[in-house]
Structure 1
């Protein structure tokens, strides 16, 4: 199955973006009359037929539409501090998209080793993973934001901070979740005591991801996977 991402679907005739058009015609060698599948990143899954096999503006006609494809009645948000080696964060984005995540935010913390991210590049990683795993919803990827500013934007009773300090913490897999959950993952050196206290003051609860000391991107993926399992058991 050839699957393409087309975020601007407003009619029964669709023109693929130039990059997708080139891939369809030049790489996959699709031609007029061939059938393909489309996703819009908002839950729409479509079947279409190629009408003009132009490698810059491949035109298609929709023949079948399915809304809310594989809709999930819960929301998973992972807020993670980007690592110095951006490849590790790209790996996390790819795998989290495959597993299932609604939103990914990047935190600027006191011990951060990376202070900016290339959103355009990270969006491409997410889109590729979305297509590979046949998902119709594209996770939102948010630009980096200072930790103290980010925690002002969340619902405290739905937000959890995973840290390594010797505080009383609840295992993530033991939580009784709402229909939305956000987990904060710190940098390689962990959140500072001041950041942890600031989170507590906002009503954010501490959690542990297990006994192992995990890399930042591994911790973020474990949190994503654990939340998915909890929600799937809840709605089963």
Structure 2
């Protein structure tokens, strides 16, 4: 199977040259895109730095709670697909038991219902791998707070598609190029549209729609919609 980066290269757009000019119709667009990228990066840096300072006591409290309530590391680090198909270490507070993979394989091999749910959503509503404190962290989205560091380091943006793993690439089909045109986000259209209550196919469409419409104003509106969505815990499990 092709790697995500190889698929991005294969799906790259072709620039059309015109006589007497470097590229037709791309110079102004390129400048606009670069300006937008600079503005978005500045927004990400300011928001992530301020949020890290604001939530530092909460980060330390959650880290201590995870450490004291279950065996294993405080952070869960997983390779995810980022902009241009490049992989990056996505950070989360660990919400699962240390033998989560083995438990998942055992469940999927013994339950047809679980296999169908996993194949459909890549999620399990009643997931035996999640620790008691992990359920609280997921319900409140506190498990994702370490991704502020991913935003600060440039792996992610404050707003964007949810970062996916290699095994999910095929499910994006021709929309994978749109996904890879932006950085994955700490929040995004999926999160404010019901999260796991939304089908995977709709999630893919939302990611592609965001990539086409992205702007600072649009990002700010999604950030404002994120607060009530997190407080309501809709679709979080």
Aligning the two structures, in what range does the TM-score lie when normalised by the shorter sequence?
Answer: under 0.3
When Rg is computed on C-alpha atoms for both structures, the one with the higher figure is: 1
**TM norm structure 2:** 0.24
**Greater strand proportion:** 1
**Greater helix proportion:** 2
**TM norm structure 1:** 0.24
